[in-house]
Structure 1
C-alpha cells in the first residue's frame, strides 16, 4: 500500500535488559556447542522477572519523549494505542494494552492488542496509518511491543533452531505532524498453505499452555518431518518466494527499488534462518541488514525491526534521505514489509539503544 498522505514516525524507543552470552549458556549446559557455532549468535537479552508490559512502558516513554521534541505531540493528540505481543503478557482475562496506556499516555483512548506473532508491530503500523488517514481528529497513534520468554515452560535456548528467544520492548509514535522518518509504503502477504507449520502435532483444544505444554517449535518441525518421510506431501509453497514478492511489491509502491535501500531492519534470526528466509530470497548480503547487531540481541518477538531501526538511527548509520526497509515474518505464515525514508538525524545525546537504562532513566 502506497501511503498517499503524510504519515511519519515521530518517535521511537526500545528497552533491552542485560545480555547473557551464548558462551555462558554453553558452559552452563543450556545450549549445545554445535548449535551455538551454527547459529552465529553471541548473546541474548534476558529480563528475568520484568513483566513484558513494563518493558513496553519503558520503550513507550522514550518514544513519546522523542515525539514531543520532534513534533510537539502531547498525550491529548493521540487517538489510540496498539500493542503487539507474541507471548503471554500477564493474567488471563486482563488487558496488557490498557496497562501500557495507563502508564504512558493515561488518556481514555482505545487500546488493542495486535497480532499475528512476530510481524505484529508492522501490522500495528499499518493499522495506525489507516487510522490517521481516516480520522483527522487526532494526530498520532502509539505503537508498542514487548515480550518476556523467561517463563518456566519456555526453553529460550532450544525451542527453535531458527532463533533464540529474547526479552525486550520497542515503541514508535506514528504521526501526521512530522518526525524523523516518513512512511512511504507498507504491505503484507500470507501463505495459508503453510499455516500448519506452527501447530503440527498439537491439538487446538485445550490450548497447550493450559495443560503445561512448552513453546517448542522443534517438536512441531520433527512431527512434520516424520509425516513427510512417511509419504505425506510437503506444501508446494516456498516462503522465500512470498518474502521476495512482498518486498518487491512494497518497494514498487514506494517508488523505489532494493538497489536504493540503505539498510534492512529484519527479524533477529540465527544465521541460517536469516540467510534462507531473507537474505537469499532477496539476494542481499548480511551487511545490508542488522545481523551484526541482532546477533547480540536475539529474537525479541514483534519488536525486532523497530529495535534495529532505532539502533541505526541513533548511531547515525542512517540519515536524512536514506531509505530503510522494515521486514518481519510470522505464523500464518505471513510476511510484512514497510519502507521509510529518514527525514531527520538523531540529535539527542542519549545512551546506546541496547544499553539498559538506570531506574532514574526508566521513569523520566
Structure 2
C-alpha cells in the first residue's frame, strides 16, 4: 500500500532482558553444539518471570518519551495496538488494556493484533489506515512483547529456524512529524501453506489446554513424513512470497532495493535467514541486522522495530536513508514496510536515552529521553 498522506514514526523503543549465551546453553545441556554451530547464534535474551506485557510497557515508555519531543501528548492518541505471538497472561484477560493503563491511561480502544511474527507490521498498516480515515486523533501506539520462559516452551529446540527470545518493542505512528516517514506498508499471503504450522494437530481442543508444547519441529517432522509417503509438498516457497511482498512495497514506495540502506528482518538463525529472506532478495547479511540479531534471538513480532531502533540510535542510518522492515508469520504471510529516515537521533542533553535493556550487548544506547 502506497502511503499517500503524511504518516511518520514519531518514536520507537525496545526493552530486552539479559542474554544467555549459546555456549552457556550447550554447557548446561539445553542446546546441542552441532545446532549451535549451524545456527550461528551467539546469545538469546531471557526474561525469566517478567511478564510479557510489562516488557511492552517498558518499551512503550521509551517510544512515548521520544514521540513527546514532536509535541504529541497522551490526549493525541486514538488507539493502542498490542501484538503477541504467545500467551500474555490469564485467559479471558486483556493484555492490551494492561499496557494502555500503564502508559497512556486514556479511554481509547486497545486491541491485540496478529498474526504471529509479522504482527507489528500488520498493526503499522492498521494504524496508517486509521490515521487516514479519522482526523480526530493524531497518533497510534503500537506495542509487542513475548516471554517464552513458560514451562511448555523449549526455546532452544522448538525450531531449527530460530531461537525464541524474550523482549518488547513499541512505536508511535503519527500524522504530525517524526524521525521516519512511512512510504509504504503491506503484506502478501499464501494461505494454502497455513497447514505447515498446523502439522498434524487437531484444531480442537487447543493444544495449550491439554498441555501440548509449542514445538514447530514436531510439526515439520509431520510434514517430512507425509511428503516421504507421497503427499504433495507446497507449490509455493516462502522465499518467493518474501520477494513478492518486498517488490510490491518497493514499487509502492517508488524506490528499489539498491536504494535501501538497511533491512530490519526477523531474528532467524543463519541458514533460515539466508534461505527465507536474504537469498530471495539477493542481498548480503551485512545489509540486514544479522550481527545484531545473532545476539538477541527471535523476539516474536518485535524484531523489525528492535532492529530499526538500533540502527537509528546508533547512527547507522541517517536522514535520507530508506529502511525496509520485513517479517513473516503463520498463514503463511509476509509483511514489509519502507520508511525514510527524516531526522537524526539526538538524545536529550544530560540524560540517558533509554533503549531499555538490562545490559547493552550491542543494543541501543542506555539513555533516557525525558
Scaled by the length of structure 2, the TM-score of the pair is 0.96
Q: What CA distance in whole angstroms lies between the structure 2 residues aligned with 1:30 and 1:351?
A: 35
Contact 2:161 2:271 in 1 (8 A): yes
**Are residue 180 (structure 1) and residue 182 (structure 2) matched?**
no
Equivalent residue for 1:16?
Answer: 16
Q: How does 1:96-135 map to 2 (within 5 A)?
A: 96-135=95-134
Contact 2:5 2:132 in 1 (8 A): yes
Scaled by the length of structure 1, the TM-score of the pair is 0.97
1:353 Cα deviation after fit: 3.6
Q: CA 1:265–1:154 in 2, change beyond 3 Å: closer, same or farther? A: same
Q: CA 1:224–1:21 in 2, change beyond 3 Å: closer, same or farther? A: same
1:355 Cα deviation after fit: 3.2
Matched residue of 2:144: which SS?
strand
Equivalent residue for 2:206?
Answer: 207
Contact 1:58 1:362 in 2 (8 A): no
1:163 Cα deviation after fit: 0.1
Matched residue of 1:63: which SS?
helix
Equivalent residue for 1:36?
Answer: 36
Matched residue of 1:173: which SS?
strand
Q: Deviations over 1:64-123 (max 9, x none)?
A: 000001x11100000000000000000000000000000000000000000000000000
Contact 2:353 2:369 in 1 (8 A): no
Q: What CA distance in whole angstroms lies between the structure 1 residues aligned with 2:161 and 2:107?
A: 40
Q: What CA distance in whole angstroms lies between the structure 2 residues aligned with 1:9 and 1:145?
A: 16
Unpaired runs of 5+ in structure 1? none
Q: What CA distance in whole angstroms lies between the structure 2 residues aligned with 1:214 and 1:185?
A: 37
**Are residue 88 (structure 1) and residue 90 (structure 2) matched?**
no
Unpaired runs of 5+ in structure 2? 361-365
Q: What CA distance in whole angstroms lies between the structure 2 residues aligned with 1:126 and 1:12?
A: 16
Matched residue of 1:41: which SS?
coil
Structure 1 runs (4+) deviating above 6 angstroms are: 360-364
Corresponding residue pairs, total: 362
Q: How does 1:1-364 map to 2 (within 5 A)?
A: 1-69=1-69, 71-348=70-347, 350=352, 353=355, 355-356=357-358
